[in-house]
Amino acid sequence: MLSFVARRVAAGVVLLFVISLLSYLLLSIPDLDVGRQLLGSNAPQATVDAKNAELGLDRPVFVQYADWLAHAVRGDFGTSWFTGENVVQALSTRLPVTVSLMLGVTGVTAVLSLLLGVWAGVRRGVADRVVQVLGVLGYALPGFLVTLIIVVVFAVKLRWFPAIGYTDIAESVPGWLSTITLPVASLSVAGVAGVSQQVRGAVIDVLRRDYVRTLRARGLPPSRVLFRHVLRNAAAPALTVLGMQFVGLLGGAVLVEQIFGLPGIGSMTVTYTTRGDIPVIMALVSVTVVGVIAVNLLVDVLIGWLDPKARTA
Amino acid sequence: MSGDGGGRGNNGGKGGGGGNGVLRRVLRNPLGLVSAVVLALIVLAVLFAPLLSPQGPNVASLRDSFGGPTGGHPLGFDSAGRDMVARLLYGGRNTLGGALLALVVALVIGVPSGLLAGYRGGRFDAAASWVVNLVMALPAMVVLLASRAILGPTVWVLMVVLGVLISPSFFRLVRGVVAGVRGELYVDAARVAGLSDARIVARHVLIVVRAPIIIQTALVAGIAIGLQAGLEFLGVGSGSTPTWGAMLNEAFGNIQRAPTMIVWPGLALGLTSASLVLLASALRDALEDRGAPAARRKARRGGSGLVSSELASPELVSPGLVSSEPAPSESVLSESAPSEPAPSGPVSGEVGERAELLSVRGLRVAYDLADGTVKEVVHGVDIDVRAGEIVGLVGESGSGKTQTAFSVLGILPEGGRVAGGSVTVAGTEIVGLDERAHRALRGTVVAYVPQEPMSNLDPSFTIGTQLTEPMRYKLKISRAEARKRALDLLRQVEITDPERVFASYPHQISGGMAQRVLIAGAMSCDPDLLIADEPTTALDVLVQAEVLGLLRRLQRERGMGVLLVTHNLGVVADVCDRVAVMHDGRIVETGTAEQILHAPEEPYTRRLLGAVLDRAPARGAWKGETA
């Protein structure tokens, strides 16, 4: 198990390196002339050149990248070209917002999907129909449209929750809850729709397995067979989808944070990326890729823990 | 994103053609019809935008800003005084066109590479899969936003990037299905016949991938439209181009002032996207129903080959998910007289006195089919098993013998039920008995040894856990005691290293070993009656002999009664005291093993024997060892 984790971490580091290199190269293709952007069109060329030299942009791309990498591995992501903010500081105030959003969504998705999926898979009939219709609906509507509908209904019309803004959990827990509820709900719709279908499918699949019949033939009660054996075997496919969902959430978070005005890394992505602020973009890319790798690793470890075959493979 | 890989890939593979049938089936499905019509209307409206809209999309008059509906402008005006209908129609062109571009790019990249990776495997597959994993680890939003910064704010370029980002979903789908098909016999046959790879792909592989690709395309189109509109909503696209996403953005910004403005673009987007997904699900239903018409929910107990047919391994014949047991089709013929419990002739000799251990009288088993009809598969069976005897229940696959066995245990699959008759186990009538009381009998009074050893052990738990769990539950003994008993049982089933097997997972032991474990499991709560369903069919010939010998020994030591379901008359000759021959859901002949094997009365029994006699010498060799 340990060597498995070590191998996966190593592969993740390689992936991170490749992606960061590719991103840096891609970002450097266009001649954005950052110095000119910063100083305005009236600035004399000499000042612009000096600014570019100050930012290190006069060097070859690979040297720039190596310089970035050397600092990044020590946790120094530099400062924003446009605002002069320290990138790590900017990230560290915004990351908790996004992480709490994602954790909330993943938790809600996992619990609701498990309940709905097992209910549909075991009961079939009407329950099954209900969950399938919900699944198609959740899937059919684009995520941000769902978000807009939720905002219009619950914040604008009913005024149950604020439409915009964020209260830190350290400041006020009820305030935090009231600002995070709608974003979490918005992002959970698609998650529950997708994952509950998977849970349902996995439960139905496992229920048809020979060993389930044999366990019943041994005289074990259905509840015990369901909770101990069926759920355990159905968990691996469900976890895989939950992990994939999490990766998709990163994109969804951009829109949701923008709509609700949450100060997370999603809204940060929009403002900084469109300007071509390489230090900030590179930090964002690194953080998200690390997040994706970490989640995938966690899912694999959990599956290995659940499924003895995956453990030895 | 779709989370639905190939999975059910290769149905209806060889059918070919049938496109019209699929279309008709989609349109007969109400959801499919509605979504197809809605989609067609939207596409037509958008195509004919110049004819339908009252003015150009960017004609603005500030006087009309936020203006309500008027005669020539049924939906009113937006914040800049532009006509909403014109914005919607022209915006639809850009939104749908952009999504189409992304879709085409994704198909062009994903499908050929998936075909190649799946068909060839090897190094290309490894490299392509690595790249795909890399693309999937990329934060799509960041990439899209960054590419806007790099490539400029044109919708079309962004859509190409989006196409690249969603191409893995096609790659993975196609690769999975093709890799599954590559090993199929008909592809091997084509290769052996000397067809070139290109021809094989064109003739045999593409047909199989076609259906999943069509479904996936509809799904991804919905996703692409959603993503595209999302990007536009963020204000990433070019400002002047009308799109639904940009309209939503504008409407959302003015939500307090003109709350209804958000409805129209939202509706257009939601309807389009929902129609695509619903169409995909209708397509899936239509495409996947093909090729598996009826009887798909029948019991899929691994049937077995024909009676002692020379097919050495039964796996070849049966146990796939969609097994095509001949049973239903055959019994349809006899359906004309379903409930008559074979009154005349060679029923069991002991109709009057019923055996105290297991007595089955007039058992009928029926399945409720999906279309509401009922199919009877066992038409009135009588069997008796006394303590200390082994009764063979013989017949070809689909004759209803396994259904009979499952009825006694109360573990008929979904949709199946006992439709009539009487079954007493150790004096208790189990037909109509409530589930809880029936469960109390399982394990302690009647136990079960299944056919396929490997698929009957839960892969997630150790052998030890699976052996001790029922004992602790049924016998209420402690963990330590259960462990001791389990190790003892493993020794009794002649496993040499019980400690190691106890701690092993099912995938770590051999099939023969697994069957011994299952026998130990059946014995664990000291049952009086053992139902063994083809307990040796899935095993090698040598292991078969050992397991049969083991069963015989345990049965003698414990004085158990055994109902041995088998298609193998060699097994009958070896261990059975009495035999019941089953055909088409009825018992056609019963008697002692001697009688049946040497002086069969029924022509059907003689045919069974005829089929086995060809192989007699092969069997003789190991018969000696066990006896």
Confidence of residue A235 (pLDDT cuts 50, 70, 90): confident
Q: What is the mean pLDDT of residues A190-194?
A: 85
- The nearest alpha carbon in chain B to A223 belongs to B436
Do A153 and A235 share a structural domain?
yes
Do A103 and A13 share a structural domain?
no
Least confident of A137-146, A238-247, B71-80, B444-453: B71-80
| Residue A86 forms part of a structural domain | no
Q: What is the mean pLDDT of residues A93-115?
A: 90
Nearest to B229 among A142, A247, A288 (CB): A142
Contact A27 B521 (CB under 8 A): no
Q: Residue B448: what pLDDT?
A: 92
Between B62 and A90, name the one with better pLDDT: A90
Using an 8 Å CB-CB cutoff, list chain B residues near A136: 277-278, 281
State both tokens at B171.
Answer: 């790659």
Query: How big, in percent rounded to 5, are the helix, strand and coil portions of chain B?
Result: 55, 10, 35
Q: b vs e for A249-288, b when ≥16 Cβ sit within 10 Å of the residue's Cβ?
A: bbbbbbbbbbbbebbbbbbbbbebbbbbbbbbbbbbbbbb
Q: How far is CA B221 from CA B25, B170, B212, in A?
A: 21, 12, 14
Helix (H) or strand (E) holding B563: strand B561-566
Q: How far is CA B32 from CA A197, B23, B27, B273, B288, in A?
A: 20, 10, 6, 14, 14
Is pLDDT above 60 for B136?
yes
A residues 140-179 near B, CB within 8 Å?
A: 140-145, 148-149, 151-152, 156
Between B339 and B425, name the one with better pLDDT: B425
Do A176 and A27 share a structural domain?
no
Q: For residue range B195-216, list pLDDT tens digits in order.
A: 777 777 777 777 778 878 888 8
Q: b vs e for A64-91, b when ≥16 Cβ sit within 10 Å of the residue's Cβ?
A: bbeebeeebeeeebbbbbbeeeebeebb
Q: CATH code at A243?
A: 1.10.3720.10
Q: Is B383 helix (H, G, I), strand (E, B) or coil?
A: strand
* Distance, CA of B35 to CA of B218 (rounded, Å): 11
| Residue A80 forms part of a structural domain | no
Q: Residue B336: what pLDDT?
A: 35
Do A259 and A179 share a structural domain?
yes
Q: How far is CA A107 from CA A113, A114, A116, A195, A290, in A?
A: 10, 11, 14, 12, 20
B residues 198-257 near A, CB within 8 Å?
A: 222, 225-227, 229-230, 233-234, 236, 248, 252, 255-256
Nearest to B277 among A19, A136, A307 (CB): A136
Q: Residue B292: what pLDDT?
A: 36
Using an 8 Å CB-CB cutoff, list chain B residues near A205: none
Domain count, chain A: 2
* Distance, CA of B452 to CA of B468 (rounded, Å): 21
Q: Residue B324: what pLDDT?
A: 35
Confidence of residue B330 (pLDDT cuts 50, 70, 90): very low
Fold (CATH) for B306-328+386-415+429-610 = Rossmann fold (3.40.50)
* Distance, CA of B448 to CA of B518 (rounded, Å): 9
Residues 6+ apart with CB under 8 A from A294: A12
| Residue A89 forms part of a structural domain | no
Closest CA–CA distance from residue A12 to any residue of chain B (Å): 10
Supply angle C-alpha B170, B174, B178, rounded to 5.
175
Closest CA to A215 of B486, B487, B443: B443
Look-up of token digits 């003895």: A308
Q: For residue range B331-388, list pLDDT tens digits in order.
A: 333 333 333 333 333 334 444 577 789 999 999 999 988 777 888 999 989 999 998 8
Is-contact A118 A199, C-beta < 8 A?
Answer: yes
Is pLDDT above 60 for A313?
no
Do A260 and A138 share a structural domain?
yes
Using an 8 Å CB-CB cutoff, list chain B residues near A292: 137, 139
Do A139 and A60 share a structural domain?
no
Q: For residue range B500-548, list pLDDT tens digits in order.
A: 999 999 989 988 889 889 998 998 888 999 999 988 887 888 888 888 8
Closest CA–CA distance from residue B171 to any residue of chain A (Å): 16
State both tokens at B67.
Answer: 């203006």
Is-contact B380 B338, C-beta < 8 A?
Answer: no
* Distance, CA of B78 to CA of A183 (rounded, Å): 27
B525 contact A CB<8A: yes
Q: Residue A246: what pLDDT?
A: 79
Q: Is B374 helix (H, G, I), strand (E, B) or coil?
A: strand
Alpha carbons within 13 angstroms on the beta-carbon side of residue B60 total 10
Which alpha helices (H) appear in chain A, and where do they start and end? Answer: 2-28, 34-39, 45-54, 61-72, 87-123, 125-140, 143-150, 173-207, 210-217, 222-224, 231-260, 265-275, 278-306, 308-312
Residues 6+ apart with CB under 8 A from B269: A142, A145, B95, B225, B226, B229, B244, B245, B248
The pTM of this model reads 0.75
Cβ count within 10 A of residue B244: 29
| Residue A213 forms part of a structural domain | yes
Is pLDDT above 90 for A297?
no
Closest CA–CA distance from residue A46 to any residue of chain B (Å): 25
Q: Is B366 helix (H, G, I), strand (E, B) or coil?
A: strand
Do A132 and A277 share a structural domain?
yes
Q: Which of the residues A145, A151, A204, A245 would you substitute to probe the B interface, choosing the one with the greatest number of B C-beta atoms within 10 Å?
A: A145
Closest CA to B106 of B171, B157, B154: B171
Using an 8 Å CB-CB cutoff, list chain A residues near B255: 151-152, 156
Nearest to B442 among A148, A218, A255 (CB): A218
Nearest to B459 among A143, A296, A309 (CB): A309
CATH number of B41-59+75-292: 1.10.3720.10
Confidence of residue B580 (pLDDT cuts 50, 70, 90): very high
Confidence of residue B578 (pLDDT cuts 50, 70, 90): very high
Is pLDDT above 60 for A309?
yes
**A47 alpha carbon, distance to own chain's centre:** 41
Chain mean pLDDT for chain B: 77
| Residue A57 forms part of a structural domain | yes
Q: Which bin fits B421, alpha (ψ -120 to 50), beta or left (φ > 0)?
A: left
Q: Residue A32: what pLDDT?
A: 65
Q: For residue range B212-230, list pLDDT tens digits in order.
A: 888 888 888 888 888 888 8
Supply angle C-alpha B144, B149, B154, rounded to 5.
75
Do A276 and A156 share a structural domain?
yes
Specify which of B6-15, B345-354, B534-543, B580-589 reaches the highest per-range mean pLDDT: B580-589
Provide ipTM, 2 decimals.
Answer: 0.78
Do A130 and A45 share a structural domain?
no
| Residue A38 forms part of a structural domain | yes
Q: What is the mean pLDDT of residues B587-596?
A: 88
State both tokens at A60.
Answer: 């070859």
CB pairs under 8 A between A and B: 209
Do A51 and A118 share a structural domain?
no
Q: What is the mean pLDDT of residues B469-492?
A: 91
Residues 6+ apart with CB under 8 A from A162: A155, A178, A179
Q: What is the mean pLDDT of residues A99-121?
A: 90
Contact B441 A213 (CB under 8 A): no
Which alpha helices (H) appear in B290-344, and where do they start and end? Answer: 327-333
Do A189 and A243 share a structural domain?
yes
Q: Where are the domains of chain B?
A: 41-59+75-292, 306-328+386-415+429-610
A residues 63-102 near B, CB within 8 Å?
A: none
Domain of residue A21: give its range: 2-72
State both tokens at B336.
Answer: 């004309």
* Distance, CA of A6 to CA of B71 (rounded, Å): 70
Between A280 and B7, name the one with better pLDDT: A280
B82 contact A CB<8A: no
B274 contact A CB<8A: yes
Q: Is A59 helix (H, G, I), strand (E, B) or coil?
A: coil
Burial class (CB in 10 A: 0-12, 13-18, 19+), B602: middle
Closest CA to B542 of B449, B453, B621, B455: B621
Q: Which of the residues A95, A124, A144 would you substitute to probe the B interface, choosing the one with the greatest number of B C-beta atoms within 10 Å?
A: A144
- The nearest alpha carbon in chain A to B456 belongs to A211
Span between the terminal Cα atoms of chain B, in Å: 60
Q: Which of the residues B35, B138, B508 would you substitute to probe the A interface, choosing the one with the greatest number of A C-beta atoms within 10 Å?
A: B138
Q: For residue range A133-146, list pLDDT tens digits in order.
A: 888 778 778 777 88
Chain mean pLDDT for chain A: 84
Confidence of residue B88 (pLDDT cuts 50, 70, 90): confident
Nearest to B3 among A216, A221, A244 (CB): A244
Residue type at A187 in one-letter notation: L
Tell me the percentage of chain A whose pLDDT exceeds 70: 97
Maximum pairwise Cα distance, chain A: 88
Do A141 and A32 share a structural domain?
no
Q: What is the mean pLDDT of residues A3-15?
A: 85
B residues 420-439 near A, CB within 8 Å?
A: 439
Q: What is the mean pLDDT of residues B98-109?
A: 91
Using an 8 Å CB-CB cutoff, list chain B residues near A250: 139-141
Nearest to B278 among A140, A148, A266 (CB): A140
Nearest to A211 among B137, B455, B470 (CB): B455
B residues 284-343 near A, CB within 8 Å?
A: 300
